[in-house]
């Protein structure tokens, strides 16, 4: 077929052989096995760089602190892990965390999960903050039959896929949004301390503003569903591109119909930009509620100070819990010493997720993935051992969901003098509800 | 027959290029067997996916000299077609992929037909704009999952029909075969009538037209072929990661990365996209993995950016330009 047969020069053949040898040696170098000691490796995947690095690094600090509690004796800590020196059920094996940075990219997360599972030989995975990344990482875990405990991703879909190796500790967005509408119901009935019954005609319209990734889109769907179910009207429904450089048009559209209730789902950089833009518009409404995350981070309070007054957040943690949960106060002191900030919703859940890992490994008494999975399916971690105000941790299959922690629950907090006061559930409320929201001046 | 001969014949290339190609084939063939690292294999598969994207973009962006910055939309079109056909009607990969590629190609044709009336910067801006519009449409289109994306149902592995495997080795060889096919196509293309026409348009469009070449039509054809390559890559991405969303497969960053990678390697040269992918993909992935989890935040971005700047400043024609210069000196 060729126009002319060419003789390959012997030097070229030699060069090709040498090159092939170099390629083979280099390739082998990539896959060198790593030695294992008396430790249990857990892979932790978080966004450690990029726009939500702040949340990722707080979670990293939280899981590291939990591992430290498990690995070393802390006599002053009034929960079982304080007395551990390693995992008792595994003959004192220490937890070794291997961190990976997914930058908020689902495909990078999946590749890193493979690295942790196959190359690092971790017994399980913890993470990943973004619901979209949790999706791909949990798929890798499911394929490789490695357990994954997810402390903080709240997209309802995650536990509706029938995955057997995926366990979610946090309540999800459906639960959080439902809590808020039930709170509104109590407000109408006049049962919320500090406020007389608010007639439904006064609090009837909703302006929803959600970012446009997996998490925001999921929240938006649930808001629409519950608004309809509870008889509210959505007058503005704004979605905006995550990490947008300008949100003026979106804020204008959100505020134009003058909604009574503002509902948000935003990551930190977006939450800051949204609030700054709304401040320019002197935004007013009667209730301002957000889905934790961006609006419930130390950086947010630092940036806006007194402008945060009256903003409601769904969360699972507040410093105000210290009064009823001394263990949370105790652990928070150490956390603040190391990371410079108090626990917030995300970091508290990360700590709890790692704590769940420690309890599961201890009870399983084995690093065999199947044994760990079976233990996770049956374990009951009492609420008194946790820093979050839950009944505890129990992964169950209910209502079409698989391995969702049915003992978890949410809180609604309100910033009052820059402190997150608990408003709901009413039995643990630490302050009277400030109504209406003072607005942004 | 002549087409096949042209595709498989590399005789006109200098010996060093042929040896380089042989090493590349050997490297890709042996890689899964000599490395046990799954992350290395994942990086390798990423590299092969980007080779495919880059080889396709090189056709319009390199040989054609058109700065098209919207290839991600073709990746996304095909990825979504494949994913939705698999989720809605359980159509196997082997049937849904051709349909995905056809959708990506048709989109390229329609768009190319109109956009190639523009030139230079206007064309580049138009491709970016259209790409962003498509992405926003997909983000807000609830029927196809919107921002939540589409997740393929897990099947028992190994499953050849739906391309679901626990071991990356299957994905590796499939991606490698796609890249090989793309290289053979490009080898044919550069000797084909279309290839010569496209290069003549790049050199001087007016002169080419005076010789009877329908520049508009040639560019549209080349753009469609670019769409085929992107479509194949998108289909493969879908089954490899089992999940797609508009941010992974339709993001402007992906379009820029494909173009950047090809330019760094050497746009308009046969091996430029492969060289570019060989540098940028491992650099990005390994730096991210090594430094991202170590607490040295952001250093990986800095090193990556520095490398790109040094190469761009030293030789605007990319690595291939440096190789050509060295060869010319001898």
Nearest-by-CA chain B residue for A53: B297
A315-A320-A324 Cα angle (round to 5):
105
**Residues composing chain B:** 330
A188 lies in the same domain as A293: yes
Q: Do A216 and B11 touch (CB under 8 A)?
A: no
- Give dist(CA B188, CA B198) in Å, integer: 14
- Give dist(CA B178, CA B236) in Å, integer: 9
A92 inside domain: yes
A225 lies in the same domain as A366: no
CB A228 within 8 A of CB A253: no
Structure tokens at B61: 């962006």
Q: Do B292 and A49 touch (CB under 8 A)?
A: yes
Strand partners, A125: A43, A148
A294 lies in the same domain as A420: yes
Q: Which of B38, B146, B289 sits opposite A217 (nearest CB)?
A: B146
C-alpha to C-alpha distances, B213 to A140, B88, B193, B194, nearest whole angstrom: 51, 44, 11, 10
A5 inside domain: no
| ipTM value | 0.87
Nearest-by-CA chain A residue for B168: A114
Q: Do B297 and A57 touch (CB under 8 A)?
A: yes
Please classify residue A240 by burial: count the beta carbons closer than 10 Å to its beta carbon, then call 0-12 exposed, 13-18 middle and 19+ buried: buried
- Give dist(CA A335, CA A390) in Å, integer: 20
A-chain residues within 8 Å CB-CB of B8? 1
Residue range A375-391: average pLDDT?
A: 95
Give the pLDDT confidence score for residue A348 in this predicted structure. Answer: 95
C-alpha to C-alpha distances, B110 to B115, B117, B139, B246, B303, nearest whole angstrom: 9, 12, 22, 21, 40
pLDDT at A25 over 70: no
Which of B18, B250, B292, B303 has the highest number of chain A CBs within 10 A, making it the mutation to test binding with A?
B292
Strand partners, A411: A315
pLDDT at A147 over 70: yes
Structure tokens at B24: 């590349």
Cβ of residue B3 closer than 8 Å to a chain A Cβ = no
A79 lies in the same domain as A159: yes
- Give dist(CA A370, CA A235) in Å, integer: 50
A127 lies in the same domain as A221: no
pLDDT at A204 over 60: yes
Please classify residue A224 by burial: count the beta carbons closer than 10 Å to its beta carbon, then call 0-12 exposed, 13-18 middle and 19+ buried: middle
C-alpha to C-alpha distances, B39 to A298, B7, B27, nearest whole angstrom: 35, 33, 17
Q: How far is CA A10 from the centre of its chain?
A: 61
Give the gap in angstroms from C-alpha B255 to the nearest C-alpha of chain A: 16
Cβ of residue A279 closer than 8 Å to a chain B Cβ = no
Cβ of residue B42 closer than 8 Å to a chain A Cβ = yes
- Digit-by-digit pLDDT tens for chain B (330 residues) are 788 888 888 888 889 899 999 999 999 999 999 987 889 999 999 999 999 999 999 999 999 999 899 999 999 999 999 999 999 999 999 999 999 999 999 999 999 999 999 988 899 999 999 999 999 999 989 899 988 899 999 988 889 999 999 889 999 999 999 999 999 999 999 999 999 999 999 889 999 999 999 999 999 999 999 999 999 999 999 999 999 999 999 999 899 999 999 998 998 899 999 999 998 899 888 888 887 666 666 676 777 788 778 877 888 788 888 888 888 877
Place of tokens 């001898």: B330
Cβ of residue B23 closer than 8 Å to a chain A Cβ = yes
B-chain residues within 8 Å CB-CB of A142? 154
Q: A-contacting residues of B 181-210, CB under 8 Å?
A: none
| Residue A331 burial (CB count, 10 A) | 25
Structure tokens at B117: 């009336």
CB A285 within 8 A of CB A437: yes
A424 lies in the same domain as A296: yes
DSSP string, A301-341: HHHHGGGGTT-EEEES--GGGGGT-HHHHHHHHHHHHHHSS
Give the gap in angstroms from C-alpha A267 to the nearest C-alpha of chain B: 15
Cβ of residue A87 closer than 8 Å to a chain B Cβ = no
Q: Do B166 and A143 touch (CB under 8 A)?
A: yes
Strand partners, A41: A96
A10 inside domain: no
HSE-up of residue B70 (Cα within 13 Å, Cβ side):
24
A184 lies in the same domain as A151: no
pLDDT at A225 over 50: yes
- Give dist(CA B33, CA B17) in Å, integer: 25
A285 lies in the same domain as A418: yes
Q: Do A4 and B11 touch (CB under 8 A)?
A: yes
A-chain residues within 8 Å CB-CB of B146? 217
Cβ of residue B282 closer than 8 Å to a chain A Cβ = no
- Give dist(CA A18, CA A13) in Å, integer: 9
Cβ of residue A21 closer than 8 Å to a chain B Cβ = no
- Give dist(CA B167, CA B171) in Å, integer: 8
B-chain residues within 8 Å CB-CB of A136? 241-243
CB B115 within 8 A of CB B60: no
Place of tokens 């030293």: B314
Q: Do B148 and A157 touch (CB under 8 A)?
A: yes
Give the gap in angstroms from C-alpha B74 to the nearest C-alpha of chain A: 18
Structure tokens at A250: 């979106």
Give the gap in angstroms from C-alpha B292 to the nearest C-alpha of chain A: 5
CB A254 within 8 A of CB A230: no
Give the pLDDT confidence score for residue A5 in this predicted structure. Answer: 43
Q: How far is CA A177 from the centre of its chain?
A: 16
Beta-sheet pairing, A287-290 with A312-315: parallel
H-helix segments, chain B: 2-8, 15-34, 38-57, 71-89, 93-115, 120-140, 168-191, 193-203, 205-210, 215-241, 246-249, 252-265, 272-292, 299-314, 318-329
pLDDT tens for A233-283 read 999 999 998 888 899 999 999 999 999 999 999 988 899 999 999 999 999
Structure tokens at A213: 């990734």
- Give dist(CA B56, CA A51) in Å, integer: 32
**Residues composing chain A:** 441
Q: Do B37 and A119 touch (CB under 8 A)?
A: yes
A273 lies in the same domain as A420: yes
Q: Which of B11, B151, B168 sits opposite A3 (nearest CB)?
A: B11
Cβ of residue B2 closer than 8 Å to a chain A Cβ = no
- Give dist(CA B167, CA B32) in Å, integer: 10
A417 lies in the same domain as A283: yes
CATH number, residue A383: 3.40.50.2300
Contacts across the A-B interface (CB distance below 8 Å): 152
Give the pLDDT confidence score for residue A34 in this predicted structure. Answer: 33
Domain count along chain A? 2
Cβ of residue A10 closer than 8 Å to a chain B Cβ = no
A243 inside domain: yes
Q: In A289-312, which positions are buried (b, 16+ CB within 10 angstroms) versus exposed (e)?
A: bbbbbbbbbbbbbeebeebbbbbb
A-chain residues within 8 Å CB-CB of B250? none
Summary mean pLDDT of chain A: 89
Give the pLDDT confidence score for residue B293 in this predicted structure. Answer: 63
Cβ neighbours for A175, distance < 8 A, ≥ 6 positions apart: A408, A409, A410
Q: State the DSSP code for A204.
A: -
Q: B-contacting residues of A 190-229, CB under 8 Å?
A: 212-214, 216-218
Nearest-by-CA chain B residue for A142: B154
CB B86 within 8 A of CB B96: yes
Give the pLDDT confidence score for residue A416 in this predicted structure. Answer: 94
C-alpha to C-alpha distances, A342 to A291, A319, A346, A352, nearest whole angstrom: 19, 8, 11, 15
Provide the sign of the torsion angle of the four alpha carbons A397, A403, A406, A407, taken in this order. Answer: positive
A160 lies in the same domain as A274: no
Nearest-by-CA chain B residue for A24: B34
Structural domain range at position A185: 174-315+411-428
Q: What pTM was estimated for this model as a whole?
A: 0.85
In chain B, domain spans: 2-251
B205-B206-B212 Cα angle (round to 5):
90
A298 lies in the same domain as A202: yes
Backbone torsions φ then ψ of A126, nearest 5 degrees: -130, 135
pLDDT tens for A100-117 read 999 989 999 999 999 999
A-chain residues within 8 Å CB-CB of B233? none
Which of A48, A59, A253 has the highest number of chain B CBs within 10 A, making it the mutation to test binding with B?
A48
CB A247 within 8 A of CB A274: yes
pLDDT at A30 over 50: no
A308 inside domain: yes
B-chain residues within 8 Å CB-CB of A121? none
- Give dist(CA B304, CA B20) in Å, integer: 25
Cβ neighbours for A54, distance < 8 A, ≥ 6 positions apart: A268, A297, A299
CB A95 within 8 A of CB A71: yes
pLDDT at A51 over 80: no
N-to-C CA span, chain A: 80
């Amino acid at each position: 077929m060729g126009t002319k047969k060419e003789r390959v020069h012997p030097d070229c053949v030699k060069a090709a052989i040498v090159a092939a040898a170099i390629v083979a040696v280099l390739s082998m170098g990539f896959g060198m096995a790593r030695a294992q000691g008396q430790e249990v490796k857990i892979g932790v995947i978080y966004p450690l760089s990029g726009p939500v690095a702040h949340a990722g690094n707080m979670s990293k600090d939280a899981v590291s602190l939990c591992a430290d509690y498990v690995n070393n004796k802390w006599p002053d800590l009034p929960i079982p892990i304080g007395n551990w020196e390693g995992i008792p059920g595994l003959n004192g094996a220490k937890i070794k965390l291997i961190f990976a940075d997914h930058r908020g990219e689902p495909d990078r997360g999946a590749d890193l999960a493979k690295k942790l599972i196959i190359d690092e030989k971790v017994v399980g995975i913890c993470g990943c903050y973004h619901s979209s990344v949790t999706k791909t990482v949990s798929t890798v875990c499911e394929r490789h039959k490695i357990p994954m405990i997810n402390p903080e991703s709240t997209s309802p879909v995650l536990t509706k896929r029938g995955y057997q190796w995926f366990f979610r500790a946090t309540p999800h967005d459906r639960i959080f949004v439902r809590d808020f509408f039930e709170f509104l119901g109590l407000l109408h009935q006049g049962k919320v301390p500090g406020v007389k019954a608010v007639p439904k005609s006064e609090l009837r319209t909703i302006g929803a503003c959600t970012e446009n990734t997996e998490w925001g889109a999921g929240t938006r769907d649930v808001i629409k569903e519950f608004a309809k179910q509870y008889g509210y009207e959505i007058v503005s429904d704004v979605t905006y591109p995550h990490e947008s450089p300008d949100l003026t048009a979106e804020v204008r559209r959100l505020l134009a119909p003058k909604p009574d209730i503002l509902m948000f789902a935003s990551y930190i950089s977006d939450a800051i930009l949204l609030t700054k833009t709304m401040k320019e518009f002197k935004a007013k409404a009667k209730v301002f509620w957000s889905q934790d995350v961006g609006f419930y981070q130390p950086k947010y309070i630092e940036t806006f100070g007194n402008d945060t007054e009256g903003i409601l957040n769904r969360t699972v943690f507040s410093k105000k819990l210290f009064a009823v949960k001394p263990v949370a106060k105790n652990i928070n002191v150490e956390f603040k010493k190391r990371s410079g900030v108090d626990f917030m919703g995300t970091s508290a859940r990360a700590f709890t997720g790692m704590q769940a890992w420690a309890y599961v490994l201890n009870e399983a008494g084995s690093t065999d993935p199947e044994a760990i999975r079976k233990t996770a399916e049956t374990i009951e971690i009492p609420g008194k051992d946790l820093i979050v105000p839950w009944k505890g941790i129990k992964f169950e299959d209910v209502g079409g969901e698989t391995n969702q922690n049915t003992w978890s629950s949410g809180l609604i907090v309100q910033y009052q003098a820059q402190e997150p006061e608990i408003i709901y559930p009413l039995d643990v409320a630490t302050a009277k509800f400030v109504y209406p929201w003072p607005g942004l001046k | 027959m002549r087409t096949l001969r042209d595709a498989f014949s590399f005789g006109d290339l200098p010996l060093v290029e042929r040896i380089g190609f042989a090493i590349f084939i050997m490297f890709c063939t042996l890689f899964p067997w000599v490395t046990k690292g799954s992350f290395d294999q994942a990086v390798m598969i990423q590299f092969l996916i980007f080779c495919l994207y880059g080889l396709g973009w090189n056709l319009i962006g390199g040989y054609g000299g058109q700065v098209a910055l919207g290839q991600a939309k073709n990746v996304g079109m095909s990825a979504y077609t494949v994913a939705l056909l698999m989720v809605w009607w359980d159509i196997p990969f082997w049937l849904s992929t051709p349909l995905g590629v056809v959708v990506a190609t048709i989109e390229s044709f329609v768009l190319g037909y109109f956009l190639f009336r523009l030139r230079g910067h206007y064309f580049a801006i138009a491709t970016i704009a259209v790409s962003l519009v498509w992405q926003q449409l997909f983000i807000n289109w609830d029927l196809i999952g919107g921002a939540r994306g589409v997740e393929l149902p897990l099947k028992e592995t190994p499953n050849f029909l739906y391309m679901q495997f626990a071991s990356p080795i299957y994905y590796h060889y499939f991606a490698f075969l796609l890249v090989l096919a793309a290289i053979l196509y490009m080898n044919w293309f550069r000797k084909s009538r279309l290839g010569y026409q496209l290069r003549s348009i790049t050199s001087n469009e007016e002169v080419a037209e005076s010789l009877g070449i329908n520049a508009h039509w040639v560019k549209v054809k080349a753009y469609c072929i670019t769409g085929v390559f992107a479509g194949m890559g998108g289909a493969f991405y879908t089954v490899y990661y089992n999940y797609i969303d508009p941010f992974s497969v339709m993001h402007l960053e992906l379009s820029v990365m494909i173009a950047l990678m090809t330019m760094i390697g050497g746009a308009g040269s046969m091996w430029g996209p492969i060289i570019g992918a060989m540098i940028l993909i491992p650099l990005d992935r390994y730096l991210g993995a090594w430094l991202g989890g170590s607490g040295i935040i952001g250093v990986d971005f800095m090193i990556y950016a520095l490398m790109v700047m040094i190469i761009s400043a030293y030789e605007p024609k990319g690595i291939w330009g440096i190789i050509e210069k060295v060869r010319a000196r001898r």
